[in-house]
Amino acid sequence: GAVVSQHPSRVICKSGTSVKIECRSLDFQATTMFWYRQFPKKSLMLMATSNEGSKATYEQGVEKDKFLINHASLTLSTLTVTSAHPEDSSFYICSAAPGGTQYFGPGTRLTVL
């Protein structure tokens, strides 16, 4: 199957700093990627759809200025959590769907102190 990578796998930062998470498709090109957030013992919540060469589409209730998404190439999408606060601590996962089947990255665990 298709391979999606994420970096970093884990990040701890101080409140007020910005954190960038990368999502890469390793063996395919992805014009669209998806970003999810997962709270402990909860399901995945779709945050936004990342579109190569155009603006991301955000789900209702997700602050676009807080969660900046850039899809600059066919293999890379980035999610930047700006001015992070403890409530932004979560597990962030990206995915892509070549051929209609979703493939997920390993996730990034963000802890904001």
Partner 1 sequence: GIQVEQSPPDLILQEGANSTLRCNFSDSVNNLQWFHQNPWGQLINLFYIPSGTKQNGRLSATTVATERYSLLYISSSQTTDSGVYFCAVTYSSASKIIFGSGTRLSIRP
Q: Does 62 bind partner 1 (CB under 8 A)?
A: no
Q: Among 27, 85, 106, 111, indicate the residue that binds partner 1 (CB under 8 A).
A: 106
**Among 62, 54, 50, residue whose Cα is nearest residue 22:** 50
**Among 95, 94, 89, residue whose Cα is nearest residue 113:** 89
Please, which residue, 8 or 16, has the CB nearer to partner 1? 8
Q: Among 79, 81, 93, 112, indicate the residue that binds partner 1 (CB under 8 A).
A: 93
Q: Among 13, 28, 49, 68, indicate the residue that binds partner 1 (CB under 8 A).
A: 49
Q: Among 38, 51, 80, 82, indicate the residue that binds partner 1 (CB under 8 A).
A: 38
Q: Would you tell me which residues interact with partner 1 (CB under 8 A)?
A: 1, 32, 34, 38, 41, 43-46, 49, 91, 93, 95, 97, 100-104, 106-107, 109
